[in-house]
Structure 1
Amino acid sequence: MKKSKISLESFFWSAEEIENPFALIDSFFDYADLDSHKQILTGAMLFVQKKEVYNSDYPGQLFVFYTAFRSFLKACVRLQHKDKKWKIKESPESWSYLHQASLLKDEYLNPFLVFQRAFTEKTFAEFDFFLCEIFHLSASPFVEEFVDIDLITPYIHMVKMLDAAQLMRERGIEKIKDKKVDISE
Structure 2
Amino acid sequence: MKKNKISFETSFWPGCVAGNPFKVIDAFFAFADLDYYKQNLTEAVMCSYKKKVYEANNPSNAFVFYTAINTFLKVCYCLQEKSKKWKVTASLCSETVFQLSSLTKEEYENPFIVFQKAFDEKTLEEFESFLCQILELSLSPRAGDPYSDLTTPYIYLIKMLDALELIRERGVEKIKKTHQLVSVTE
Superposition TM-score, scaled by structure 2 size: 0.93
- CA displacement at 1:163 relative to structure 2: 0.1
- CA displacement at 1:16 relative to structure 2: 0.6
- CA displacement at 1:86 relative to structure 2: 0.5
Partner of 1:112: 112
| Contact 1:47–1:137 (CA under 8 A) maintained in structure 2 | yes
Q: Distance in 2 between matches of 1:17 and 1:99?
A: 29
Amino acid corresponding to residue 52 of structure 1 in structure 2? K
Partner of 2:160: 161
Q: Deviations over 1:66-98 (max 9, x none)?
A: 011001100100101212210111112254234
Q: Distance in 2 between matches of 1:107 and 1:98?
A: 11
Structure 2 unpaired stretches of 5+: none
Partner of 1:4: 4
Across the two proteins, how many residue pairs are aligned to each other?
A: 183
Q: Rate the CA distance shift 1:38–1:100 in 2: closer, same or farther, 3 A.
A: closer
Structure 1 unpaired stretches of 5+: none
- 1:97 aligned counterpart, secondary structure: coil
Q: Once the two structures are aligned, what percentage of the paired residues are identical?
A: 52
- CA displacement at 1:182 relative to structure 2: 5.4
- CA displacement at 1:183 relative to structure 2: 6.5
| Contact 1:11–1:18 (CA under 8 A) maintained in structure 2 | no
Q: Distance in 2 between matches of 1:163 and 1:126?
A: 20
- After TM superposition, the structure 1 stretch with the greater mean CA deviation from structure 2, 20-29 or 150-159, is 20-29
Superposition TM-score, scaled by structure 1 size: 0.93
- After TM superposition, the structure 1 stretch with the greater mean CA deviation from structure 2, 1-10 or 160-169, is 1-10
Which has the larger share of helix?
1
